[in-house]
Structure 1
Amino acid sequence: MATGDSLAANRFSIQFGKFIAETVPGVTGLPLSSEALEAKQVDADGSLLIRKPAGAPQLNEITIRRGMDKSAAFTEWVKKTSAQQKPDEANPDLTIAAFDGQDTPVKRFHLTNAFACRWEGGQLDASASEMAKETVTISYEDLTIE
């Protein structure tokens, strides 16, 4: 890829370690944010200095769209990490990998201490000619981009 070219990613996977649990059509979000602090000080000349150091990291969220119950491994992870289940039994870290048209990984997003905080089933309509889809919202503490 030449300098300045945009990244073309056509396929995304959810991974636990090196194990690909599922391929998904889309992921939205992937923010990394922290609380913004403001510190006001006066220097030796009496001038006001305003600094904005980074504060505590915030929980961030992504949303994954997927076919309803497509992967048993990912569905089990969602169940175990949700507030009603046993998050200690599930691997709290996961990776979202982006692949180009030749199935070469072009970027990885490692989510630390992730857990499913919301699940929403799609519209169930017998007269519709589309696949049943669901969305899973995942909160995480830290994001590392590789």
Structure 2
Amino acid sequence: MLTGDSFSANAFAIGLGKFQVETVQDVSGLTLEQDVVEVRQVSATGQLVVRKQPGGRRSGEITVTRGMDKSNAFTEWIKTTLVNADLDTARQNVTVSLMDAKRNTVRRIHLSNAWASRWTGPALGAAESGPATEQVTITYEDITVD
């Protein structure tokens, strides 16, 4: 890959603890964010001095969209929190892997202590011809990018 070439956004995978999510349509909301602390002081000459500095890192959420299929492992993980209310078991480290054209992993985004906090089912209708998809919001405590 030449310098300046970007990776394709359609080559990625999601690993969840001990298994890989079989099929995924979309991942959105991958952000690394930090609080900004603003300190206002007055100097000895009476002039206002405003300083900004980094604060704590923020936790976040991503949304995974996938076709409704027969893959059980990811569905069972979602049920662990949303149905069984077993957050201790549900917390997993999630990895989103970005791949190059040859399907080699070139960058990893790690989400620590992640759990499913929301599930949205498909929009169903007699006149619909598209795939039935579900959306899962995954809440995490920390994010690191390799």
The alignment status of 1:143 with 2:132, answered yes or no, reads: no
* Aligned 8 A contact 1:112 1:141 in 2: yes
Which runs of 5 or more residues in structure 2 are unaligned?
A: none
Between 1:115-124 and 1:46-55, the stretch displaced more is 46-55
* Aligned 8 A contact 2:65 2:135 in 1: yes
Report the TM-score when normalising by structure 1.
Answer: 0.83
How far does residue 88 in structure 1 lie from its aligned partner after superposition?
A: 0.7
Give secondary structure in 1 for the equivalent of 2:92: coil
1:53-98 per-position Cα deviation (integer Å, ceiling 9, x unaligned): 2223333111111011452111111121338610111242111112
How far does residue 42 in structure 1 lie from its aligned partner after superposition?
A: 4.1
CA-atom RMSD, angstroms? 2.3
* 1:105 corresponding residue in structure 2: 105
Which runs of 5 or more residues in structure 1 are unaligned?
A: none
* Aligned 8 A contact 2:122 2:133 in 1: yes
- Residues paired across the two proteins, number: 146
Give secondary structure in 2 for the equivalent of 1:109: strand
Runs of 4+ in structure 1 off by over 6 angstroms are: none
Give secondary structure in 1 for the equivalent of 2:50: strand
Between 1:105-114 and 1:4-13, the stretch displaced more is 4-13
Report the TM-score when normalising by structure 2.
Answer: 0.83
* Aligned 8 A contact 1:60 1:140 in 2: yes
What percent of counterpart residues are identical?
48
